[in-house]
Chains A and B, each alone.
Chain A
Amino acid sequence: MKTKPSAGVERLEPDECWDLLAQTNVGRLAVLVDGHPDIFPVNYVLDGDSIVFRTGAGTKFWSTLTTPCALESDGYRTFSGKAWSVVVRGQTHLILDRQERADVDALGLDPWQPGIKDCYLRLTPEAVTGRRFKTKRPDLWGTPLNDARLDDFH
């Protein structure tokens, strides 16, 4: 189905999508669990042209490995009054190699949620799409004022 672009929605180029993905560490992962979409927040890092995150060995972990996934990240810029949303779709696989896991740790991948999250997963993108749009109600979206990293980009 062809989607008609809405007024005021700007499609982002892949390079820009990756730049935006690199600016934040929290995304929401959509997976199919028992035939039903499910969604959970994850802390991620970029590693070259893939996305790496950690999880515990549960139902979602299994589903993540066996069905395609979509990871969404978004943000809001006070400066421009615009929000962005980037979605990466692809297949995830488990990182088994100890050295590879250590390399990922060196990139600063620490899950923000305590608990046992010893499975390292790599999402290899098949499609990356991004949109930027003006929000009518930025107060609903909230301003990431205490996100120190964003100061660098203003």
Chain B
Amino acid sequence: MRGPNGALLPDYSGARAATMDIVHVGLWALLSPRSRTYGLTMTNKPTVPEAEILDNKQCWELLRGVSVGRLAVWAQDHPDIFPINYKADHGTLVFRTGEGSKLHAALSATPVALEADGVDPQSGVAWSVVVKGKAESIKLTQEVLDTVGLLLFPWQAGRKDHFVRIVPTSLTGRRFNVTPPLTWWSPLDDATRAGLE
């Protein structure tokens, strides 16, 4: 189905068709020789399994090592996503934002998710950590300023009047080998390397 400008219109039939296809995909994946050879063909690479699940401590170490993350919010009827600067603060994450749709959506009834990631270009090991929780507006007290304020330079120039804290209800992290070419990945922060060593 196409709209007036030639763009495909939203089509939910794919979801129904998927019910059938998932069986095929599942079977095909089991039978696929590729699914069995990953572990064997990568013997000369760093020994990181397909996706290693990280524990909370590792997740926090990695989160503390970078400053840029992506914030996913629910904006009325669709998800939206923004790059943000954040800072880990006593088991929570704090970021700064101006008045606008990002702040509005972040503080809505729906919780938010913040993802940070990185890759070590030498070893080809990448990681991704997702924090989920409720975002709440916080007052800029001296305590907040001392711990996070000075370090939270706005990633984007302009007035950033609001501080928002994410109190995690869930923290998940994965580490995995990136298949070449690594040049695909733009390193977000060199500090991520230190986090992996």
Contact = CB atoms under 8 A, between A and B. Distances in A.
A74 B156 CA distance: 13
Given A7-B158, A30-B80, A113-B51, A91 B11 contact: yes
Contacts of B79: 30-32, 37, 67-70, 89
B21 interface: yes
B50 A6 contact: no
Contact of B190 (A26, A74, A85, A142): A142
A31 B14 CA distance: 16
B77 A6 contact: no
Q: Which of B11, B14, B99 has the most CB of A within 10 A?
A: B14
Interface string B90-121: 00000000111100100000111111010001
The 3 closest A-B pairs by CB, nearest first: A93-B14, A144-B186, A30-B72
A79 interface: no
A61 to B, nearest CB: 8
Contacts of A19: none
**How extensive is the interface on chain A, given as a class?**
35 or more
B156 A94 contact: no
A40 B172 CA distance: 11
B85 A38 contact: no
B25 A30 contact: no
Interface residues of B, number: 76
Interface stretch (B54-62, B126-134, B138-146): B126-134
A13 interface: no
Contacts of A142: 68, 186-190
24 contacts: A1-B101, A3-B100, A4-B99, A8-B158, A25-B184, A28-B72, A30-B70, A37-B113, A38-B72, A40-B115, A41-B115, A65-B14, A70-B78, A74-B83, A94-B17, A112-B179, A114-B176, A116-B29, A118-B25, A119-B25, A135-B156, A142-B68, A142-B187, A147-B184
A137 interface: yes
Q: Which of B72, B154, B185, B187 has the most CB of A within 10 A?
A: B72
Given A39-B130, A41-B117, A146-B187, A124 B10 contact: yes
Interface of B: 6-15, 17-18, 21-22, 25-26, 28-29, 32, 34-35, 38, 42, 50-51, 67-68, 70, 72-74, 77-83, 85, 98-101, 104, 110-115, 117, 121, 126, 128, 130, 132, 153-159, 176-179, 182-190
B28 A140 contact: no
B36 to A, nearest CB: 10
A151 to B, nearest CB: 10
A136 B11 contact: no
Nearest to B13: A93
Given A37-B112, A49-B7, A57-B22, A136 B155 contact: yes
A35 B25 contact: no
A145 B186 CA distance: 8
Contacts of B38: 114-115
Contact of A90 (B10, B72, B159, B183): B10
B82 A126 contact: no
A36 to B, nearest CB: 6
Contacts of A124: 7-11
